[in-house]
């Protein structure tokens, strides 16, 4: 591993410093022939933590002593501009969990064909694509979306563990659900879209409105969801599995539940178009996808979902197998079909359900109380559930282009005119619901 000196990124292990020092001494002692035989560097840009990459570094270099990894770290929203630099910043391999970044790089011609053996690797799991049809990138592992539960906090509410999204629309969960804001948390837009695909546009937004009315928010990553549920401040949250697995490994009293209608966020690997070491890049990509590499991803300290089905036969019985779940219909979600609309969906969600949330929560409390008394407040419920735009309007390419710059995790961007209009429409809808409830005596 090496330090990215230009940008000040850390990443040098003591072992690597000693290794490089030793190689230098050896070269000095034996002269030019040793220099010629020195391992060639493979530069990998990634967002994986150092603990994960250290395992791959050691295993790959043992399997391929002719290469040495040089690791650079960039989060997804920083990776795209980095890889748009001249010579793509010297990067050979990009490996990260950011499907839209890979799609954008491919569209710009910044990736070359992987050209590696994919025997034993499926192209899909359920409705989710695992490989680029043009062969420029492929999935290496999956993360699953679902529910994080604290049984000690959920039990006193008299609510069963949720098995699907509709179970979260339970009035007894008021104030005890925590959600990530999809306009602020990079993995969360897919969470919203899973429900919209599974239940349909109209019913999906209606369900999200009711769930949001019972929920509180976090504006940072999934670790904050786990913290809220683990502390008991919330009884159930919505997150992605690897955050929860990490919290459980650190002693948090949590369970993760994969819903009946789920979705995956695949991590991909690709070779840059201007890779200085394409042979080494292919060797590393092939290693990650091999049974050895896939077993590393399933290690108890990492616990990802491998993309090689054969690996699951050797894993514990309680280890989630997405291929088996897909056979039951759990992964019909098509992320490619909805990818372009995700920034739009995230923004609509924020204007409709996050902004003015206190008012939204109060209106849902009144609706639930009135329904418990047998009052007919169906008109108010219908109005509060109505989406701010139609599915057709959300699919307009021009709208997608206006929101395309909003990559995963970016914040504090100027508001677009559509967002101002959506916020105004949401406030107008809440005022109308208030009037309808007053007319119904609720």
β-partners of residue 247 are none
Buried b (16+ CB within 10 A) or exposed e, 335-357: beebbbbbbbbbbbbbbbbbbbb
CA distance 280 to 324: 34
* Alpha helices (H) in 329-416, listed in sequence order: 335-338, 342-349, 357-372, 378-385, 391-394, 397-403
| Stretches in the chain below the pLDDT threshold 70 | 1-37, 221-222, 406-413
pLDDT score of 184 = 86
pLDDT score of 350 = 95
Q: Which residues contact 327 (CB under 8 A, 6 or more apart)?
A: none
Strand ranges (E), 111-224: 111-112, 124-125, 128-129, 137-149, 177-180, 215-218
pLDDT score of 351 = 95
CB 228 within 8 A of CB 237: yes
CA distance 70 to 215: 43
CA distance 221 to 75: 13
pLDDT score of 288 = 98
Angle 235-237-243 from CA coordinates, rounded to 5°? 120
pLDDT score of 11 = 40
Strand ranges (E), 108-173: 111-112, 124-125, 128-129, 137-149
pLDDT score of 137 = 98
CA distance 366 to 348: 24
pLDDT score of 30 = 41
**What is the phi/psi pair of residue 148, to 5°?**
-105, 130
CA distance 244 to 250: 10
pLDDT score of 253 = 94
CA distance 149 to 143: 17
CATH 3.65.10.10 fits 14-142+265-327, yes or no: no
pLDDT score of 35 = 47
pLDDT score of 1 = 40
CA distance 168 to 89: 45
Which pTM was predicted? 0.83
CB atoms within 10 A of CB 232: 13
CA distance 434 to 442: 9
Report the relative pairing of strands 93-96 and 111-112 from DSSP bridges. Answer: unpaired
β-partners of residue 189 are none
pLDDT score of 242 = 86
């Amino acid at each position: 591993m090496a330090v990215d000196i230009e940008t000040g990124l850390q990443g040098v292990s003591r072992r690597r410093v000693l290794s490089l020092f030793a190689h230098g001494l050896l070269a000095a002692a034996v002269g030019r022939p040793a220099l010629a035989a020195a391992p060639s560097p493979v530069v990998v840009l990634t967002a994986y933590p150092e603990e994960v990459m250290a395992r791959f570094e050691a295993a790959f270099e043992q399997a391929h002593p002719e290469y040495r990894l040089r690791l650079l770290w960039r989060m997804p929203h920083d990776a795209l501009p980095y890889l748009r630099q001249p010579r793509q910043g010297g990067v050979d391999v990009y490996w990260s969990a950011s499907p839209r970044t890979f799609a954008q790089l491919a569209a710009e011609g910044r990736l070359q064909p992987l050209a590696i053996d994919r025997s034993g690797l499926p192209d899909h799991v359920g409705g989710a694509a695992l490989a680029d049809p043009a062969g420029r990138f492929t999935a290496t592992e999956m993360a699953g979306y679902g529910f994080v539960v604290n049984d000690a906090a959920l039990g006193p509410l008299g609510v069963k563990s949720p098995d699907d999204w509709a179970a979260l629309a339970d009035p007894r969960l008021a104030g005890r659900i925590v959600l990530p804001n999809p306009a602020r948390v990079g993995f969360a837009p897919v969470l919203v879209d899973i429900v919209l695909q599974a239940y349909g546009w109209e019913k999906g937004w209606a369900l999200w409105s009711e769930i949001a009315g019972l929920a509180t928010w976090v504006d940072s990553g999934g670790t904050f969801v786990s913290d809220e549920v683990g502390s008991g401040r919330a009884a159930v949250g919505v997150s992605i599995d690897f955050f929860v697995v990490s919290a459980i490994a650190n002693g948090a009293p949590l369970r993760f539940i994969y819903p009946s209608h789920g979705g995956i966020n695949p991590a991909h690997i690709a070779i840059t178009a201007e890779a200085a070491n394409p042979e080494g890049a292919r060797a590393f990509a092939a290693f990650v996808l091999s049974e050895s590499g896939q077993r590393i991803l399933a290690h108890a300290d990492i616990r990802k979902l491998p993309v090689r089905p054969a690996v699951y036969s050797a894993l514990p019985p309680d280890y989630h197998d997405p291929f088996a779940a897909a056979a039951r219909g759990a992964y019909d979600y098509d992320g490619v079909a909805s990818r372009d609309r995700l920034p739009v969906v995230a923004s609509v969600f924020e204007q409709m359900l996050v902004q003015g949330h206190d008012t939204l929560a109060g209106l849902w409390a009144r609706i639930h109380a009135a329904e418990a008394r047998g009052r007919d407040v169906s008109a108010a419920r219908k109005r509060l559930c109505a989406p701010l735009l139609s599915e057709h309007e959300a699919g307009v390419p021009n709208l997608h282009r206006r929101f395309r710059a909003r990559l995963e995790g970016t914040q504090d961007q100027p508001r677009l005119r559509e967002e101002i209009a959506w916020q105004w429409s949401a406030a107008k809808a809440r005022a109308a619901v208030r009037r309808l409830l007053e007319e119904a005596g609720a």
